[in-house]
Structure 1
Amino acid sequence: MTDQPKTDPKDLPGADPHTGQREVDPVTGHETTGHDWGGITELNTPFPKIVIWALVLTFLYSAVTWVLLPAWPYGRDYTRGLLGLDQGEMAVAGFAELDARRQDWIAQFDGAPEFEALEEDAGLMAAAMPAADRLYLDNCSACHGAQGGGGPGFPVLTDSHWLWGGDPETIAETLQAGINTTHPDTRWAQMPAFDWMERQDRRQLAEYVVALRDGTADPDGPAAPLFEENCVACHGDGGTGGLMNGAPALTDTAVIYGQDAASVSQTLRYGRQGVMPHWSDRLSDAEINLLALYVNRLSEEVSQ
């Protein structure tokens, strides 16, 4: 085995070829490496000790937590550590604690509550409405919008136009059973397809429905008999609705699928059958009643 040749200090980058000493930066007092980057001299500074200590402390912390806290998964379980912590159990315990704290007020929404009396209790409303807002965001906002503004195919909840009724009791019934669902008490509503109708007749009928909204429909025009024969049974005389059968009024701007001529023509040709899920399998009766009161208050706040 041969000895490795030693590097002559004079051969190091940045070293003086005669003395072997590197150039010293006059500002910082550090030696340079001999590299020059566009007039900027690279300093030969030592590795920061704070970084070394940070690495050491990080390693020590990871070693301690590896022993104390949950760390290694195996199969469908994992090591609990010396502290025996289980985040799943902690989450369930936290939820149970939260549920216990709200039992004193949410129990008042169970059964068949008197909604007017509940609304008059300012302290109850202060505790209940933030929870109701969370319920709405978790379960309703995806379709009806974060503020109840609705969207194509989904009703607006902030106006006074309701397909089945907007009082809290009726809203609770709709939430319980849904619309066009598998629930035995579901509300049922369907806009049939009029694809059997002549295209020209559908076009005239669509224009008539648009004119109903604008208040310019001619009751003696050629489309009036078509409307009388095919639409009045569900949408009411003059398209005013109000029959609480899931058929909207056609004289306002609250039509779910749009009331321009193209949208109405599409509806007439292919029909509509929206679905409102039933929430009785997901929410408790008290939560449904709380949510019903919240939705009712959305329209009341806008109308005030």
Structure 2
Amino acid sequence: MSVKERDPLTGHQTTGHEWNGITELNTRVPRAIWLFIAITHVWALVYWVLMPAWPLVNTYTKGLLGRDQQEQVQERLVAANAARGEWIDQIAALTPDEIRADDSLMRHVTQTAPTLFGDNCAACHGSLAQGGPGYPSLVDEAWLWGGDDETVLETLRVGINAPHPESRYAEMLAFGRDGMLDSDQIGTVVDYVQSLSGIGSGSSPTAKEEGATIFADNCASCHGEDATGSQDLGAPNLTDDFWIYGSDDDTMFETVFNGRRGWMPAWEDRLTLADRKMLTIYLSSLKEEPANAD
């Protein structure tokens, strides 16, 4: 087959290939394409010379301009920290109420605190701070140690049952596992506790009296004689409708039988004082305007 034939319409030479009456033309690559290819090669060569590009054994070519992106990022971080340093220092020095009274500082808190919560707290307490089994809700009023600013700041600082030397400490005894109560007694006291918050149909007067006795002998020292709990001890109120682990029969039996020991890390070495104050203010706002669960 000859490639010297020309297409009568375009005047281009053909390759000599034909499929179903369609002849393949030997069309040249447009000059503009060659120009663009040449420009990109020249640009790549210039970039290799001017900028860091080629890896060597223990280092890399620095380029004639000496630009280092790591140094640029570090410089930007330093500049960003310097820009926020002034208001960060103010937040660290002021009380939460004083911060709330300053509109400019509150704008920073509003912009920063949700991210702090999402990065550090949401994994346990949920993105809406409503908690879940084993993790308390932060949008209700049932705070084990108290929900005022000072208490929340201290809890964030030292944690609960954490390695911090000043950590808050609380533990529910394992009454069944350690042989302090048998299964029947645990069932009786569970029914009694459920009756205090209006759960279930209620026990007979005799069973209720027996449950009250078991409660007084084993539980009242932490939860109080009236079962309303103690924030000094981190013991929850058993007469309301807020339950960390659940209020059904099986869960409560498990709680009394094997005990509970919650844990929260101490944030003193992981978050700055300003960060902890912003989180405290943010949590307070969630209690004032609880998020709606869908």
Taking structure 2 as the reference length, what is the TM-score of the superposition?
A: 0.79
2:242 aligned with 1:258? no
Q: Is the CA contact (8 Å cut-off) linking 2:5 and 2:13 kept in structure 1? A: no
Q: Is the CA contact (8 Å cut-off) linking 2:222 and 2:230 kept in structure 1? A: no
Superposed displacement of residue 294, structure 1: 1.6
2:221 aligned with 1:233? yes
The residue number in structure 2 matching 1:106 is: 88
Matches within 5 A, 1:33-52: 33-35=17-19, 46=27, 49=30
The residue number in structure 2 matching 1:139 is: 120
Specify whether residues 70 and 239 from structure 1 end up closer, same or farther in structure 2 by C-alpha distance, changes over 3 A only: farther
The residue number in structure 1 matching 2:190 is: 206
Superposed displacement of residue 277, structure 1: 0.7
Q: Is the CA contact (8 Å cut-off) linking 2:13 and 2:27 kept in structure 1? A: no
Q: Structure 1 residue aligned with 2:147, among 157, 166, 170?
A: 166
The residue number in structure 1 matching 2:278 is: 290
- 1:95 aligned partner, one-letter code: L
2:143 aligned with 1:155? no
Distance (whole Å) between structure 2 residues aligned to residue 153 and residue 99 of structure 1 = 37
Specify whether residues 87 and 238 from structure 1 end up closer, same or farther in structure 2 by C-alpha distance, changes over 3 A only: farther
Distance (whole Å) between structure 2 residues aligned to residue 135 and residue 301 of structure 1 = 19
Distance (whole Å) between structure 2 residues aligned to residue 30 and residue 250 of structure 1 = 94
Percent identity between matched residues is 37
- 1:107-153, Cα deviation, whole Å (9 max, x unpaired): 22224x33222212222211222122222222212221222122222
Distance (whole Å) between structure 2 residues aligned to residue 167 and residue 42 of structure 1 = 85
Please identify, of 250-259 and 268-277, the stretch whose mean Cα deviation from structure 2 is larger: 250-259
Distance (whole Å) between structure 1 residues aligned to residue 109 and residue 141 of structure 2 = 23
RMSD across aligned positions (CA): 3.3
The residue number in structure 2 matching 1:5 is: none
Specify whether residues 225 and 283 from structure 1 end up closer, same or farther in structure 2 by C-alpha distance, changes over 3 A only: same
Distance (whole Å) between structure 2 residues aligned to residue 214 and residue 101 of structure 1 = 55
The residue number in structure 2 matching 1:16 is: none
Superposed displacement of residue 65, structure 1: 3.3
Specify whether residues 46 and 100 from structure 1 end up closer, same or farther in structure 2 by C-alpha distance, changes over 3 A only: same
Q: Is the CA contact (8 Å cut-off) linking 2:170 and 2:234 kept in structure 1? A: yes
2:64 aligned with 1:82? yes
The residue number in structure 2 matching 1:268 is: 256
Distance (whole Å) between structure 1 residues aligned to residue 199 and residue 250 of structure 2 = 18
Q: Is the CA contact (8 Å cut-off) linking 2:190 and 2:253 kept in structure 1? A: yes
SS at match of 1:34: strand
For structure 2, the residue ranges without an aligned partner over 5 or more in a row are none
2:234 aligned with 1:246? yes
Distance (whole Å) between structure 1 residues aligned to residue 57 and residue 256 of structure 2 = 57
- 1:248 aligned partner, one-letter code: P
Superposed displacement of residue 46, structure 1: 4.8
Q: Structure 1 residue aligned with 2:97, among 110, 116, 120?
A: 116
Q: Is the CA contact (8 Å cut-off) linking 2:159 and 2:267 kept in structure 1? A: yes
Distance (whole Å) between structure 2 residues aligned to residue 74 and residue 266 of structure 1 = 63
Distance (whole Å) between structure 2 residues aligned to residue 75 and residue 278 of structure 1 = 44
Specify whether residues 31 and 150 from structure 1 end up closer, same or farther in structure 2 by C-alpha distance, changes over 3 A only: farther
Q: Is the CA contact (8 Å cut-off) linking 1:209 and 1:259 kept in structure 2? A: no
Distance (whole Å) between structure 1 residues aligned to residue 76 and residue 187 of structure 2 = 59
Superposed displacement of residue 54, structure 1: 6.0
Superposed displacement of residue 162, structure 1: 0.6
- 1:65 aligned partner, one-letter code: Y
- 2:184 aligned partner, one-letter code: Q
- 2:197 aligned partner, one-letter code: R
SS at match of 2:18: strand
SS at match of 1:89: helix
Superposed displacement of residue 257, structure 1: 1.7
Superposed displacement of residue 239, structure 1: 2.8
Specify whether residues 51 and 104 from structure 1 end up closer, same or farther in structure 2 by C-alpha distance, changes over 3 A only: same
Q: Is the CA contact (8 Å cut-off) linking 2:146 and 2:231 kept in structure 1? A: no
Matches within 5 A, 1:55-94: 58-74=40-56, 77-94=59-76
Distance (whole Å) between structure 2 residues aligned to residue 78 and residue 198 of structure 1 = 72
Superposed displacement of residue 163, structure 1: 0.9
- 2:161 aligned partner, one-letter code: N
